[in-house]
Amino acid sequence: MTVTPAGAVREVLKKIDLCTFYVAKYSVQKFGTSLKKSNERCLIHDSAASKWIYWRPFFNVFSVVSDEEGVQKEIQRIKREFLPYKGPSSWQVGPTSTPTTIGSKLEQAEYVVKTRWTGMSLPLATGGINAKQVVDLEITRVSSEDQLTVWEGIVREGGLEDVSGLHPLHSKVAVPPNSALQLFIGCTGDKPAASAAVFRDGSYLSIFMVATLPEFRKQGIGSAMTNEAIRLGRSLGCKTAVLQSTPEAVRMYQELGFEKQCEITNYVIPTSA
């Protein structure tokens, strides 16, 4: 079946908007046996109407497609069913969510904006050519427990988030060879300086967790880490790279050839704000 240009655009927007959901779904499914052994509660909901994951204590909504009345009911249902757990919870609103008023409805329900991202994409056949070579930067894939701990520290100290609570999941899913989810560390000399992660989803490559420690910034290391992800995507046969950028990093990605495609807002449920 031939994909029309409009259909191709919708597919790119979907991959950008839901890239975190696809990574989380893949990881949780791969981690399933360990979850059963530890008696952890984990629910994955993936339908045309909504996509969310609950892995105690985290509850994250990634997309809801409904009308005004349906969204209002969904907001109330989630508050009623999941707020009692009082875990870190979020609701993402991007181009795959409808109606367009969903953000204002969340704010009326006392949800608050935590972060805003710019969704970007890059055709891998042409991207990455403007990256500057960084002298003495060695990029290696995380393949051990010790490296994973270092990677988590860079992500945290680089200003993104504390992902140490996901160590058991990353250990089982991302560390083994041939995983669709791969983590990378960039070192200058023998000092860890930057992190990155990629997820292969068919012909798409999601790039995320690109962070540089404060003392190594303004040296082109973030661009170099992203460029390495681009090279990997090409070698794996991926056609398009997608990512969600912070406002501060948009220019860096544009210099590598990424183009803005959409805006994404992350709301947090009041008890976890």
Confidence of residue 1 (pLDDT cuts 50, 70, 90): very low
Domain ranges of the chain: 5-116+265-272, 123-263
For residues 230-252, average pLDDT: 94
pLDDT at residue 129 in the model = 58
pLDDT at residue 87 in the model = 61
Greater confidence, 103 or 270?
Answer: 103
pLDDT at residue 135 in the model = 64
Of 197, 202, 196, 206, which is closest to residue 238 (Cα–Cα)? 202
pLDDT at residue 166 in the model = 82
Whether 114 has a pLDDT exceeding 60, the answer reads yes
Pairing of strands 204-212, 112-123: unpaired
pLDDT digits (tens, 9 = 90+) for 2-32: 444 666 788 999 999 999 889 988 888 887 6
Greater confidence, 79 or 76?
Answer: 76
pLDDT at residue 35 in the model = 47
CA dihedral angle for residue 251, residue 257, residue 263, residue 268, rounded to 10 degrees = -70
Whether 53 has a pLDDT exceeding 90, the answer reads no
State the DSSP code for 10: H
Whether 204 has a pLDDT exceeding 90, the answer reads yes
Residue partners of 79: CB distance under 8 A and separation at least 6: 109, 269
| Element housing 141 (H / E) | strand 137-141
How many Cα atoms sit within 13 Å of 240 on the Cβ side? 19
Rounded to two decimals, what is the model's pTM? 0.88
Other residues' Cβ atoms within 10 Å of the Cβ of residue 56: 13
State the DSSP code for 65: B
Domain covering 123-263 assigned CATH 3.30.70.1560 in the classification: no
